[in-house]
Amino acid sequence: MFIADTPYAATLADHLARSVRFALEEDLGSGDITAQLIPADTQASARVITREAGVLCGREWFDACFHQIDARLQLNWHVEDGDAVTPNQLLVEIHGAARSILTAERCALNFLQTLSATATAAHHYASRVESLPLAILDTRKTLPGLRLAQKYAVLAGGCQNHRLGLYDRFLIKENHIAACGGIQPAIAQAKRLHPDIPVEIEVETLAQLDEAIAAGADIVMLDNFDTDATRQAVERTAGRVKLESSGDFDLDRLNADLAAGASVDFISVGAITKHIQAMDLSLRLTMDESA
């Protein structure tokens, strides 16, 4: 998978360049004083392997870290974003100035290990529902500054994106409902403001579900409904609107809902982006024989 495959490719490419630039500035400060121990003309090669299984993601962030430091560095990838990888598998080879490789190393690995962790988590959920008419969505519970990067990683892992931010989709939640004076006026105001944008609203009870459907909601989010309540909501709705389940979902809860016939249209899972453990990667440098 590549950035160009996303529906927000231009925005994501700009996000990538800015986030990499910030990460390098944060790390470099006034300069890499340890890399200065090495003569500037010393050439080297490096190999990056993974020590664990997972789904790779973050190639273009990795490349940008090295090329913003030194555009002459050469990178040869053996895998693509979205590929499954196994322990000790070679991911990428790098050749060029030893100073440049060592300066860019940490930031590049940080992006690759974090986005691969996100893609791997997404894959666990996507593989469970791949034969079902059910989409697993991410949320806005992303790492600050890495919103679009993690959204991309979710796609690489096989799940789908919910809204990108507060600007591209309505999601009327409990506090919005209270501030607007109720479900009906909140939905009505949303449709007046942006009649071309689907309106999703969060409900906490079956009675609120009925009210949201009557008010013309396009999607209803079932907030923290247990398995039995979700099954009742599916039966009660009878396909009149799309239903989304949300609230501390994990694979065990997903399996329980599916077994009980509580099958909604979407399940949003914050854990895909916030409960992640970085993939264990290793970079090893080898000095050129001519050095």
Residues classed as catalytic: 106, 141, 173, 202, 223
Q: Name the phi and psi angles at 139, rounded to 5.
A: -135, -170
Residues 6+ apart with CB under 8 A from 31: none
Distance CA 120, CA 139 (A): 16
Helix (H, G, I), strand (E, B) or coil at 12: helix
Q: Which DSSP state fits 8?
A: T
Short-list 110, 60, 52, CA closest to 85? 52
By C-alpha distance, which of 273, 264, 270 is closest to 247? Answer: 270
Residue (of 40, 55, 113, 102) closest to 278 by Cα position: 113
CA-based diameter of the chain, in Å?
Answer: 76
Beta-bridged to residue 48, according to DSSP, are 92, 283
Exposed e or buried b per residue across 250-283, where buried means at least 16 C-beta atoms within 10 angstroms of its C-beta: eeebbeebbeeebbbbbbbbbbbbeebeebebeb
CB 60 within 8 A of CB 99: no
What DSSP designation does 105 have? H
Query: In sequence order, what DSSP letters do the residues of 273-288 get, joined into one string?
Result: HHS-----EEEEEEE-
